[in-house]
Amino acid sequence: MEAYYNCMRLKNRNVRILTRDGSHYKGTIVDVDHNYVYLRPMSRGNVQTSAFYPYPYSAANDILTLSLFTLLAIALI
């Protein structure tokens, strides 16, 4: 639950997220639920995700879905 509350506190802010597998992502947290954080990446490169964003955003917005379980660190940028 700590990851959930940290992400809620940083919603609509630019962050850098580090995951347990060593990956890092930069972007804006657009939404959070109890399982996932939804990130709009700063870079427009290829992005892979294991889930989809079920809310009213189009594919053009490039929303990245990350499991809260995989988050290791979140920092403001």
pLDDT score of 66: 95
Residue 66: which of 28, 13, 9 has the closest Cα?
A: 28
C-alpha span between 20 and 3 (Å, rounded): 13
Q: Which domains does the chain have, with CATH numbers?
A: 2-76 (2.30.30.100)
Q: What's the pLDDT score for residue 13?
A: 96
The phi and psi torsions of 32 (rounded to 5 degrees) equal -145, 135
How does pLDDT run across 49-60, given as a tens digit for each residue?
Answer: 555 555 555 455
Give residue 1's pLDDT. 82
Q: Please count the other Cβ atoms lying within 10 Å of the Cβ belonging to residue 63.
A: 20
77: its two tokens: 């940028």
Instruction: Determine contact, residues 40/58, Cβ cutoff 8 Å.
Output: no
Q: What amino acid occupies position 32?
A: V
63 beta partners? none
